[in-house]
Amino acid sequence: MSHYARHVFFCCNQREEGRTCCNAKGATGMRDYAKERVKELDLAGAGKIRVNQSGCLDRCEEGPCVVVYPDAVWYTYFDRADVDEIIEEHLRNGRIVKRLRI
């Protein structure tokens, strides 16, 4: 059994100047927000959810990206409301947010 029910990776890669990257679109701040929000909702910890940053997930051109494992669901997001929706719908209720899926 996995240590976490779900592991959420936010691409926080910073590429060379001029190349599209998730961090230039605010990924680190969104990761920090998601991490705090998951804790506030008591969804964090062993047997629950872990939010982490990752290096390049090689999908930066599709917008800032996040992937949820073991579900292998990839999302993009635009603002905190999108991150809240991913947390509420997918992480809390197990429903994929189709409009944000990549």
- For the domain that residue 37 is a member of, what is the CATH number? 3.40.30.10
pLDDT reported for residue 93: 96
Number of Cβ atoms within 10 Å of the Cβ of 10: 28
pTM of the predicted model, to two decimals?
Answer: 0.93
Structural domain of residue 19, as residue ranges? 6-100
Whether residue 24 lies inside any domain: the answer is: yes
Overall number of domains in the chain: 1
Structural domain contains residue 33: yes
Domain-located, residue 77:
yes
Q: Do 67 and 57 form a contact (C-beta atoms < 8 A)?
A: yes
The per-residue pLDDT for 60 is 82
Tell me the CA distances in angstroms from 9 to 17, 18, 52, 73, one per residue in order.
Answer: 23, 24, 5, 11
3-class secondary-structure state, position 29:
helix
What gap in Å lies between CA 68 and CA 92, rounded to an integer? 12
What is the predicted pLDDT for the residue at 1? Answer: 63
Percentages helix, strand, coil for the chain, rounded to the nearest 5? 35, 25, 40
pLDDT (0 to 100) of residue 2 = 79
1 domain-assigned: no
Mean pLDDT by 10 residues, the chain (102 residues): 91 82 91 98 96 91 93 97 98 97 96
- Asked whether residue 91 is assigned to any structural domain, the reply reads yes
